Amino acid sequence: MEMVLLEIKDMSVSYGKREVIKHCDISLREGKLTALLGLNGSGKTTMLKASCGLLRGRSAVWRVCGEDAYKMNEKRKAQLISYVPQKNTIIYSISTTDVVAMGFNPYLNFFSSPSKGQKEEARGVIRELGLEEKADADFMSLSEGQKQLIILARAMVQNAPVMLFDEPDSALDFLNHHLILSKIRELIHREGKCGLITLHDPNFALEYCDEILILKNGRVRDSFMPGLLSAGEVQRRMSLLYDKIEILEHNEKFVLVKSI
Give the whole-number percent of the chain exceeding pLDDT 70: 100
Q: Is the pLDDT of residue 173 over 90?
A: no
- Mean of the per-residue pLDDT values of the chain: 94
Class of the domain covering 4-224: alpha beta
Q: Give the three-state DSSP class for 117.
A: helix
Burial class (CB in 10 A: 0-12, 13-18, 19+), 43: buried
| Type of residue found at 241 | L
Would you state the torsion angle of the CA atoms of residues 119, 122, 123, 125, taken in this order, to the nearest 10 degrees?
Answer: 170
Please write the tens of the pLDDT for every residue from 101-124: 999 999 998 889 999 999 999 999
The conformation of residue 89, written as its DSSP 8-state character, comes to: -
**pLDDT single digits (tens) 130-164:** 999 999 999 999 998 899 999 999 999 999 999 99
Domain ranges of the chain: 4-224, 225-259
Whether the Cβ atoms of residue 237 and residue 224 lie closer than 8 Å to each other: yes
Query: Residue 91: which pLDDT band, with cuts at 50, 70 and 90?
Result: confident
pTM over cut 0.75: yes
